[in-house]
Structure 1
Amino acid sequence: MTEEEQTSASAPAASPEGASGQGTGAQGRLRVGLVGAGPWAEETQAPALASHDGVVFAGIWARRPEAARALADTWDTTAYDGEEGLGELLAACDAVAFAVPPDVQAPLVVRAARAGCHVLLDKPVATGVREARAAADAVAAAGVASVVFCTLRFAPATRAWTAEQSATGGWFTASARWLGSLYDPASDHRFAASPWRREKGGLWDLGPHVLSVLIPVLGEVTEVTAFRGPEDTVHLALRHASGASSTATLGLSAPPKAAGVHLELLGDQGPATLPRWAGSVSAFHAAVDALVESVRTGRPDDCDIRFGLRLTEILAEAEERLGKR
């Protein structure tokens, strides 16, 4: 199942008033705008921002103005229209959350950073290393805070588990399997219409989530091997800086009865299995908390845009390996 079905550091600004000096909203809360009004924004970002006590949901801009207006009406915020409207949204906000395809996201992040807005990105940052690096460099140059929303890094159950296993150490190997049935002929899931998922497959949609757990527990990826399975399924074999190895099977085209998520570590303490999680909204709440904390303290989050860039580099290397086979 996909994350939707499961219901290095940049230098952030130390001031909670935002790098642009615009000030903050009611009671000193960060004013956060949303770029994007598709299914993921409807299900996750918009309801999370509207229900978060620590921020002000300042408005929505989308490439489809009618979608932005409908979502803004649902959550009692302001819709901004057209190219001029995007600039108005950035001027009205201290931070911007993104719910758009990765290769649309990257240049918009550059624009937001240059406008002095902190950024809360969706994964992956981009599907090209050059574009991801340009976004990361713009964030660093602007001195704004950044967080990349990888669900497993912020869902309470999996976040706590990852921190615990990282502190435990002594891991010998790990195996991960994340298979969705998005493209099964019988599927009518609304995310099946996503062009970027259709083009890039499970490697880019699900790979960031798996890597966002494996890397903090096992260490930096130092070697990547990849080969193809059925349909869009990809098998990865990774070596980590700790000396441990891991494997990952990723795909969106599995039969429904084969779909599911499993991640297991093996080491000195025996096996440890990733717990189930529920609720993308609660996970996004935690990502907003992380951004607010980074803005407040000036300390980069562990899952910031530089980490997001590294995920893009690893996935691009895997894709290159696939092209050579």
Structure 2
Amino acid sequence: MRFGLVGTGYWARETHGPGIQASSQDLVGVWGRDPAKTADLAESLGVEAFASHADLLAAVDAVSYAVPPDIQAPLALDAARAGRHLLLDKPVALDADSARALHDAAQASGSRSVVFFTARYAAETRAWLDDLAAGDGWRGSWTEWIAANQRPESPYKDSPWRQREGALWDLGPHLLGTLIPALGPVRSVVAVAGPGDTVHLTLTHEDGPVSTATIALWGPPAAYTWDMRVWGDAGVSAASKRVTTAVESLTTAAEELAAAVDADAEHPLGLAFGARVVELLADAAGQLGR
């Protein structure tokens, strides 16, 4: 399948581009809003630099997006309407209406999609979720994710959309992307703001479990914590530490999008799932007055 890449930043250069090229799919070109950066990345990847998004769409079967969510949503909508298959980054949009419109357009055109919840394409995460599914009696979970993107070594320290939207929209999709398969669909969310971009979430799952989470993207470096645990009748099960690289996960996502196209089937992590994640986050954002 012929892929085009949209985006020229760190995530496009270090993950999406190399990930597609490590797959059995064909990366044919790249487009970005800055022509100079587009040309530079295209040269680095050894592919064509396209002059416009429309030109790229005309040359490919699928598009991989590595741009901020508010930029991704309208571009991907054009791609879906053109019948192109979609490898989307999370969140797929920053509001529920845009996410639903994207989902509906893909459904109407027969466009298949996967959303890149990075850990969900890692073998160790999948094995942990399989272990949870093999048991029963899970009653809830605790998550504490305190990141510190302002650290000099962080590749995201200068990311404008992350600075603007904070933990809810950057870490929140990863949280829901893992907890929903662990404990079932989420019926309701309660959100409380903490200092800075810290958000405290209480998630009630449809079958009864209740999850609590504290997430911060710009937290104190000394408080860095990355812990998720599920608890129930069998005790406590901690999420596996991820060892699969982001590039390896992207490669898996590209291969699975191609497989979904071949099977003409919706991927479990496609736009139906991605749009529901946005609905829940938008609900939380409304409670926070954001």
Q: TM-score range by the shorter chain?
A: over 0.9
The correspondence for 2:264, drawn from 298, 303, 322, is 298
CA deviation digits over 1:202-256, x for unaligned, max 9? 0100011111111112111112111111210100001001100001111112121
Contact 1:106 1:125 in 2 (8 A): yes
Contact 2:25 2:255 in 1 (8 A): no
Query: Which position in structure 1 is the counterpart of 2:48?
Result: 78
Contact 1:233 1:251 in 2 (8 A): yes
Where 1:198 maps in the other structure, the secondary structure is helix
TM-score with structure 1 length normalisation? 0.86
CA deviation digits over 1:89-143, x for unaligned, max 9? 1111110000011011011111111222100000000111111111111111111
1:150 matched to 2:121? The reply is no
Query: Which position in structure 1 is the counterpart of 2:11?
Result: 40
Query: Which position in structure 1 is the counterpart of 2:247?
Result: 281
Q: What CA RMSD, in Å, does the superposition of the two structures yield over aligned residues?
A: 1.3
Contact 1:147 1:303 in 2 (8 A): yes
Query: Which position in structure 2 is the counterpart of 1:68?
Result: 38
CA distance in 2, matches of 1:120, 1:49: 10
The correspondence for 2:191, drawn from 210, 218, 226, is 226
Q: Read off the aligned partner of 2:145 and give its amino acid letter.
A: W
CA distance in 2, matches of 1:180, 1:313: 24
Change (3 A) 1:297 1:281: same
Query: Which position in structure 2 is the counterpart of 1:313?
Result: 279
Pairs within 5 Å for 1:190-269: 190-269=155-234
Unmatched tracts of structure 2, length 5 or more: none
Query: Which position in structure 1 is the counterpart of 2:99?
Result: 132
CA distance in 2, matches of 1:178, 1:205: 11
Contact 2:200 2:212 in 1 (8 A): yes
CA distance in 1, matches of 2:135, 2:75: 39
Contact 2:143 2:212 in 1 (8 A): yes
User: Displacement, 1:188?
Assistant: 5.3
CA distance in 1, matches of 2:57, 2:202: 41
TM-score with structure 2 length normalisation? 0.96
User: Displacement, 1:163?
Assistant: 2.8
CA distance in 2, matches of 1:195, 1:133: 25
Count of matched residue pairs:
289
Pairs within 5 Å for 1:50-129: 50-52=21-23, 54-81=24-51, 85-129=52-96
Unmatched tracts of structure 1, length 5 or more: 1-29
CA distance in 2, matches of 1:212, 1:162: 11
CA distance in 1, matches of 2:84, 2:136: 37
User: Displacement, 1:87?
Assistant: 1.4
CA distance in 2, matches of 1:255, 1:238: 25
